Amino acid sequence: MSEPILYSAPSYEQFVVGLRAVENDIHDDHRKLVTVHCQMPNSTATATDLAERCGWTDWRIVNRQYGFFSERICRAIDFVPSTKKDGKPRWWGIHSAGRDIGNGRFEWIMHPQLVAALEEVGWVQVLAENDVALSAPRDSDGYAEGSRSTGEVTRYERSKRAREACIAIHGCVCQICGFDFEVTYGEFGHGYIQVHHTASLASQGRRQTNPEVDLIPVCPNCHAMLHRRTPALLPDELRQILRHAS
């Protein structure tokens, strides 16, 4: 199996801006394709795999749909994609790294910064309907999350209240680098932080999440770095990388 081929791609922050910009400008099929790809094992799939999961008869439909999606993202953020020898854009390089896996098959490995951005804007996030209020008693093991709801796409539910509980416990300061949005942006940054699951819901399915030990508040940069590897880095691993880089 060959090493992944990686071309220039948007950053986490650019993907967040781009996804929000195109949200009302793309067809449901494009959203479905990206969501299905994101939730494949290790966010990795061939065009044939994606066509089958999306209910399409031809892998070339995936190429066309992804080309449209990537073009819209690039336009939204003024990003210039890599080009092929004939000068045409290499649209797949926007959403994924690529790898030849033999027998004429080529797989796409979705960029970790896109995975994190999809979660941030809510494309791969469904709030659990059976959450209890924070003030109500919870199970000793934590909050229920990760339920599988199967329709056109299998999604892994994330509890909004578990996120709120994490912030109530740990605060709004990044637990990796110490960044505080309120210190930098004043009142405008008050209360803003992202929350990272230290264990993937997709790999474990429905489980009880304890916001004190299973969730940590992180800034967008550290969140993207945690997801730069699949499976995601452990918080202590990223802290060590940050210490060595300082």
pLDDT tens string 183-193? 998 988 888 88
CA angle 220, 225, 227 (to 5 degrees): 100
In the block, residue with structure tokens 């099929």: 29
pLDDT score of 227: 75
For the whole model, what pTM was predicted? 0.54
Checking if the pLDDT of 236 tops 90, the result is yes
pLDDT score of 122: 79
- Least confident interval from 21-25, 87-91, 97-101, 200-204: 200-204
Tabulate helix, strand, coil % of the chain (nearest 5).
45, 20, 40
First and final CA of the chain: distance in angstroms?
35
Across residues 22-41, what is the average pLDDT? 87
Burial call 67-77: b when 16+ CB within 10 Å, e when fewer: ebbbebbbebb
153: pLDDT confidence band, cut at 50, 70 and 90? very low
- Per the prediction, the chain carries an average pLDDT of 80
Q: Strand order in 105-110's β-sheet?
A: 44-46, 105-110, 96-102
Distance of CA 66 to CAs 33, 37, 73, 197, 200, Å? 8, 11, 11, 28, 26
pLDDT score of 145: 54
Residue 185 and residue 8: Cα distance in Å, rounded? 30
pLDDT score of 2: 67
pLDDT tens string 98-151? 998 888 889 999 998 898 888 878 787 433 333 333 333 344 455 555 544 444
